[in-house]
Amino acid sequence: MITGKNYIGNKLSENGGKGFKTINPHLNIENPTTFVEATTEEVKEAVELAWSAFREYRKVSGAQRAAFLNAIADEILALDQELVDTYTMESGLPEGRAVGERGRTVFQLRSFADLVSNEDWRENTFDKAEPDRKPLPKEDLRKTLIPLGPVAVFGASNFPLAFSTAGGDTASALAAGCPVIVKAHPMHAGTSELVASAVIKAAEKTGMPNGVFSCVNGGIDVGVALVDHPKTKAVGFTGSINGGRALFDLAAKREEPIPVFAEMGSINPVVITPSAIAERSNEIAKTYAGSITLGTGQFCTNPGLLLTIKDENTKAFVEELGKQVVAIEPQCMLHPNIKSGFDKNGAGILAQPGVEVVAKVEGDLKDNCAASVIATVSGTEFLANPKLHHEVFGPFSLVVQCQDEDELLAVIEGLEGQLTGTLIAEKNDSSDLQEIVETLQHRVGRILYNGVPTGVEVCPSMHHGGPYPASSDSRFTAVGTHAIKRWVRPVSYQSFPNELLPVSLKG
């Protein structure tokens, strides 16, 4: 049952007088529940409770934390159709997407449970003492990873489950031994409350300390209060560049600066070789039309920039891509504000000198549906105009037609950091691609060969991060079990008696 209240630990709270409602983007109407924004005092209470819980939770064994994470997965599944219906009502996304994302969320939780069921993830190291070493003896040294403390997690607009209340940030932080305070995304506060209730039930069933998890509603003021609290020790964020950078700057200005692990904007360049276009132009156009419009283009890995070298086949390829994109029925976006942003940002790109519209969905559309766009520009114009490098969140892609490989490399080198870069090529291209690959790898966190960037596998070898502004720290991933490394720090123990060492370092 959705109450519209905040979870301060296992207590429902509604002390504030300010409320809001979510929107059904399909119907373009408000949903019935009023959600009460957390007060500054409620935020403080949640963080203080998390700090108190941390004293106990950091000592909880890996096996017990694994049981907790598995219980969260079980409780999410127990929400059944109510969760699916609430998800679709608040996001405009179809039921199949809701079920699939729920499955991914559950998989993530169980993956972290498996990870912490033993101590291998801590990467413990042992350097035994050598008292007789000359000229100086060597002390006994052992190193392990310990949790940072309470983590503030900001839910993502485009993934109401997998990157939100019990998504990858929360799952990895809880796995590490860190309590979590979630700021629910206002666009899907009902979905967040249902998932929060599942986390609280799991905590109670597995005997976790009260305060190991809280979930609060609100806007900028609530987010600032969370990050600014001295007992918040790290932040996880998925969203806009402006939002992520604001949190990063706020955290850096604290008396004790803390890390902000933010996954932000990306246009995910795709390099298509002339031979690939010559051999399979229509196939590539069809595949990328599907990727550009998948989820109404509302994926962080949406291919917003296609790069190629202009030749006699390029024009036909670009036209076919446009034809394929506009043939796909327009879909609903997540929220009227996101639709408005898509229209505004897309219009800003199209207004730039040298940009030509290849194809755009025309005619009357249902409320909040996006008119997909393919546009093109020369490499020279792209290099001269930084405004063309900006992300358009939605089904919009810009094809940059370069004069030659040197200009193509200059375009890649001039890009901001990206989550992904893709290379579409033929076998006979391989000898000519090394410089392109090396240039890409310094601008992106994941390089694909003959694939599409949409679709992110959850596994240890996945890296879902990249140079700024794709993420605030390119060394860490937001997806997969290595995400746990964001919420821990190393500690060395020198010449310690065995009985005082952490369990994982004894022996």
Contact 151, 236 (CB under 8 A): yes
Strand order in the sheet with 141-147: 125-127, 141-147, 488-494
DSSP output for 136-195: S-B--EEEEEEE-S-EEEEPPSS-TTTTTTTSHHHHHHHHHT--EEEE--GGGHHHHHHH
For residue 136, give Cα distances in angstroms to 127, 131, 141, 167, 495. Answer: 15, 8, 15, 50, 15
CB of 463 closer than 8 Å to CB of 486: no
Separation of alpha carbons 467 and 474, rounded Å: 5
Length of the chain: 507
Q: Which is catalytic among the residues 263, 320, 391, 416? A: 263
Structural tokens at position 375:
């546009």
**Distance in angstroms (rounded) separating the CA atoms of residues 202 and 186:** 24
Q: Please, which residues bridge with residue 449 across strands? A: 423
Catalytic residue among 14, 42, 45, 300: 300
Three-state secondary structure readout of 50-105 = HHHHHHHHCCCCHHHHHHHHHHHHHHHHHCHHHHHHHHHHHHCCCHHHHHHHHHHH
Q: Is 215 a catalytic residue?
A: no
> Percent helix, strand and coil across the chain, each rounded to 5?
45, 20, 35
Active site residues: 263, 300
